[in-house]
């Protein structure tokens, strides 16, 4: 059920580790890069709630509810990944980032609802942790691809205006992995039908597309209380992460490899090392995801999320004191612990508070609180850096660490009911799920 997320993470990991590098190769300045990144979160802000709403109202006896969206998104994202590193100009690369991110979101958002659909509430933390495990595995491999290919003799440098072959071939491999992993989940998994197919069909037929769009975005006014409490947690969390994703390459190449020349061997070596550092936090995340359910049961979910975010915040804050590349790998251990919780705990908290028939819709709305901070970072950080020239990329990464710690403290405000009832309303369905859980407990 979660295997397809490994493929999705090939797309996101390559995007996170290499987009700034691609923009730099094509001639972007450091203070232009955040604005170029804004395409990705703006796309998610629009696409995710709509896809969630549509997937709630989709059902096919053969393909189910969420799986058609997995497949369509995988096809479109894989094509975009083949094109982006071959962009002949900066504006084309920015446009391809827009298309690629929209396509990834078409696959990704229904995956979040998939876990809520298929598992009883007591298994939500484990279910989202399993997603984190596969996300971590995919991100490790994807982040290391440019370094692996460089070690095999693939060119890691290119003339001005050209993306190195090590990055191009990484995107080709990532496109294939994205498509194949998602297809595996589509082919091997099954979904439970709506509780009342006749009522489901009547509701679907009585709503036009534009009514659905209005209902989707008006859902912000009807959010569950837990979602409202998690909103500031998500805002500070993802603002902090975006500080890292945008500026880690520029900070590392400038302060550890002592270059800002994007054509130089030192810059490209440093950019490869950032990929290795991202692989480190993804690997730690994959390993820690196996422990997270036990930690959450011991401490409760709120305290677990606080501890994990503080670990990530300290990891980013330590960038200010790093003098050797290997120290960056140590810092990423904390980021990996935080990343596991970020991908699991908020969704587990939310899943038990959402009506089953609106799982995709509210998961899409919830993802808006991931997107908004990224938009703010993309638009606000360039202005901030121009206003304060001393605020170089390293300081922005450190700021991201402070924001993660603030997010952790805000988690303590969340009213998390870990014993929330199973979200399906029909008692017969719940009895069937409970029996299934008992029968498979030996697994």
The answer to the question of residue 170 being in a domain is yes
The answer to the question of residue 431 being in a domain is no
Q: Which of 443, 411, 396, 20 is nearest to 230 (CA)?
A: 411
Q: Pick the range with the lowest mean pLDDT from 32-46, 88-102, 391-405, 418-432.
A: 418-432
Cα 417 from Cα 353, distance rounded (Å): 8
| 288 vs 50, more confident | 288
The answer to the question of residue 439 being in a domain is no
| 388 vs 298, more confident | 298
The answer to the question of residue 424 being in a domain is no
The answer to the question of residue 388 being in a domain is yes
Torsion 77-81-87-90 (CA) sign: positive
When the pLDDT of each residue in the chain is averaged and rounded to a whole number, the result is: 81
The answer to the question of residue 432 being in a domain is no
Assess contact for 359 and 113: CB atoms under 8 A. Answer: yes
Report pLDDT digits (tens) over 86-125: 988 888 888 888 888 888 888 877 877 787 778 887 787 7
pLDDT band at 212 (very low <50, low <70, confident <90, very high): low
Assess contact for 113 and 131: CB atoms under 8 A. Answer: no
Res 442 pLDDT > 60: no
CATH number for the domain that contains residue 123:
1.20.1250.20
The answer to the question of residue 32 being in a domain is yes
In this structure, the chain runs to a length of 443
Q: Exposed, middle or buried: residue 289 (CB in 10 Å: 0-12, 13-18, 19+)?
A: buried
Identify the pLDDT of residue 361: 65
Reduce the DSSP state of residue 60 to 3 states and report it: strand
The answer to the question of residue 305 being in a domain is yes
Total structural domains within the chain: 1
Q: Pick the range with the lowest mean pLDDT from 112-121, 150-159, 259-268, 339-348.
A: 112-121
Identify the pLDDT of residue 420: 46
Identify the pLDDT of residue 140: 86
Average pLDDT of 284-295?
Answer: 89
Q: Pick the range with the lowest mean pLDDT from 15-24, 52-61, 356-365, 419-428.
A: 419-428
Which residues constitute the domain of residue 11? Answer: 3-190+197-419
Instruction: Please list, in sequence order, all residues whose beta carbon lies within 8 angstroms of the beta carbon of residue 25, skipping any fewer than 6 positions away.
Output: 158, 160, 161, 162, 163, 164, 167, 262
């Amino acid at each position: 059920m979660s295997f397809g997320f490994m493929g999705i993470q090939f797309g996101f990991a390559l995007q996170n580790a290499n987009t700034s590098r691609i923009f730099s190769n094509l001639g972007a300045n450091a203070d232009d890069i955040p604005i170029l990144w804004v395409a990705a979160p703006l796309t998610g802000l629009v696409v995710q709630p709509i896809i969630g709403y549509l997937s709630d109202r989709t059902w096919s006896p053969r393909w189910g509810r969420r799986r058609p969206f997995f497949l369509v998104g995988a096809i479109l994202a894989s094509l975009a990944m083949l094109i982006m590193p071959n962009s002949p100009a900066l504006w084309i690369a920015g446009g391809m980032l827009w298309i690629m991110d929209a396509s990834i979101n078409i696959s990704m958002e229904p995956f979040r609802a998939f876990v809520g659909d298929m598992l009883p509430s007591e298994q939500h933390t484990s279910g989202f942790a399993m997603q984190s495990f596969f996300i971590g595995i995919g991100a490790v491999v994807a982040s290391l691809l440019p370094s692996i290919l460089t070690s095999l003799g693939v060119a890691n440098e290119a003339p001005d205006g050209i993306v190195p072959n090590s990055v191009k071939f990484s995107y080709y491999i990532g496109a294939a992995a994205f498509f194949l992993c998602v297809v595996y989940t589509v082919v091997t998994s099954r979904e439970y039908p709506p509780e009342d197919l006749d009522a489901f069909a009547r509701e679907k037929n009585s709503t036009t597309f534009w009514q659905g769009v209005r209902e989707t975005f008006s859902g912000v006014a009807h959010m569950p209380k837990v979602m409202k409490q998690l909103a500031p947690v998500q805002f500070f969390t993802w603002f902090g992460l975006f500080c890292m994703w945008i500026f880690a390459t520029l900070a590392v190449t400038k302060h550890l490899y002592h270059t800002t020349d994007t054509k130089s061997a030192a810059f490209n070596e440093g950019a490869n090392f950032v990929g290795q550092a991202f692989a480190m936090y993804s690997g730690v995340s994959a390993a820690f995801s196996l422990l997270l359910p036990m930690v959450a049961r011991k401490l409760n979910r709120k305290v677990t999320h606080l501890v994990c975010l503080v670990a990530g915040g300290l990891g980013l804050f330590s960038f200010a004191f790093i003098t050797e590349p290997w120290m960056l790998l140590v810092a990423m251990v904390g980021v990996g612990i935080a990343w596991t919780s970020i991908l699991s705990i908020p969704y587990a908290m939310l899943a038990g508070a959402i009506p089953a028939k609106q799982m995709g819709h509210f998961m899409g709305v919830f993802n808006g609180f991931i997107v908004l901070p990224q938009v703010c970072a993309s638009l606000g950080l360039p202005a901030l850096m121009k206003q304060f020239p001393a605020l170089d990329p390293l300081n922005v990464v450190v700021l991201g660490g402070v924001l993660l710690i603030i997010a952790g403290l805000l988690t303590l405000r969340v009213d998390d009911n870990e014993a929330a009832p199973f979200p399906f309303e029909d008692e017969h369905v719940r009895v069937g799920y409970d029996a299934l859980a008992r029968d498979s407990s030996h697994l």
